[in-house]
Amino acid sequence: MQVIRGDDYQSWIYANQDDLVVVDPWLTKRQVFPKINWLLSRESTRKAYLLENELIQKVTHIIVTAHFSDHLDIDSLKLFKADIPIYTTEEASKVLIKAGFSKVKIVKTNNVYDLNSLKLKIYKAGKPYNTTTFAYSLSDMHSKIFHEPHIFNNKLKIDNVDACIITVDMVKVFGLVQVSMGLDQAKIAQSELNAKYLIATGIAPKRTRGMIGYLLTIKEYYQDIDFMPVSCNQVGDSLSL
């Protein structure tokens, strides 16, 4: 299995045999909060990997981890065929079905789903996202990757993880409610998962613009993890497992 950074924020691509799975795709130049652009926006600094390599039509499955606009970018998703299988939350499914997607699967915690050559297993996310999003592992016969887009749930017991994709830039709302982990927390999560490789997701949160940005306290560490076996900081960086 090959893991590829899909954009300069938090999109991921997995390639295995004839399967190409994309997670939370962002393919537009500017990502905005629907209908209220001044509330939240982010500009891409690099062309998305799928666009750069003309791979849109090669994607076989999509995973959308949350209904939030930075995970479910409807303008990006509309670039895919309407009958592509999408695995997502109940709230996100409503948006996707309304947009015309016909193969939307609402995932359940601890369930396993076959994505042809890959197996998708769903895990409960850490607070405060435990009711609105999910973590997951994706595995083949030889390797397993774990991805938590926000806060790691330290009650999870997961074996044989080769690499973990987790947040390393600490973000708090009003300086109180933590919504993204710092580097020290990420290292603890990596240790609990016994993962050889740590890959940072949700990087560079200071690039977020809009009213919401004024409510956030941010400490960025993603540029400080080069001592790890792999970081995949740049669009197109990859890891073969």
Across the chain, the runs of DSSP E, i.e. the strands, are: 2-5, 12-16, 19-23, 30-32, 41-43, 61-63, 86-88, 104-106, 112-115, 118-124, 134-139, 144-147, 163-167, 170-173, 177-180, 197-201, 216-219, 238-240
DSSP state string for 144-170: EEEE-SS---TT------SEEEEE-SE
Spatial distance between the Cα atoms of 184 and 187, rounded to a whole number of angstroms: 5
Is the Cα dihedral 119, 6, 102, 67 positive or negative?
positive
Residue 191: the pLDDT is 94
Average pLDDT over residues 12-34: 91
The CATH number for 17's domain is 3.60.15.10
- 3 state SS of 84: coil
Above 90 in pLDDT, residue 223?
no
Residue 229: the pLDDT is 57
Q: In this predicted model, what pLDDT tens digit does every residue of 145-157 receive, in sequence order?
A: 999 999 999 999 9
Which amino acid type is present at position 18? D
Above 70 in pLDDT, residue 228?
no
Contact call for residues 147 and 165 (beta carbons, < 8 A): yes
Q: Please give the residue range of the domain that contains residue 69.
A: 2-240
Spatial distance between the Cα atoms of 204 and 102, rounded to a whole number of angstroms: 34
Query: Do the bridges between strand 170-173 and strand 177-180 make them parallel or antiparallel, or are there none, so unpaired?
Result: antiparallel
Above 90 in pLDDT, residue 230?
no
Q: In this predicted model, what pLDDT tens digit does every residue of 166-221 receive, in sequence order?
A: 999 999 998 889 999 999 999 999 999 999 999 999 999 998 888 877 888 999 98
Q: In this predicted model, what pLDDT tens digit does every residue of 54-77 receive, in sequence order?
A: 999 999 999 999 999 899 999 999
Spatial distance between the Cα atoms of 241 and 238, rounded to a whole number of angstroms: 10
Which amino acid type is present at position 52? E
Residue 126: the pLDDT is 97
Residue 215: the pLDDT is 84
Average pLDDT over residues 12-29: 96
- What is the number of structural domains in the chain? 1
Query: Do the bridges between strand 30-32 and strand 41-43 make them parallel or antiparallel, or are there none, so unpaired?
Result: antiparallel
Residue 110: the pLDDT is 97
Residue 117: the pLDDT is 97
Residue predicted with more confidence, 231 or 78: 78
Structure tokens belonging to residue 104: 């939307």
Spatial distance between the Cα atoms of 208 and 186, rounded to a whole number of angstroms: 21
Q: In this predicted model, what pLDDT tens digit does every residue of 88-143 receive, in sequence order?
A: 999 999 999 999 999 999 999 999 999 999 999 999 999 999 999 999 999 999 99
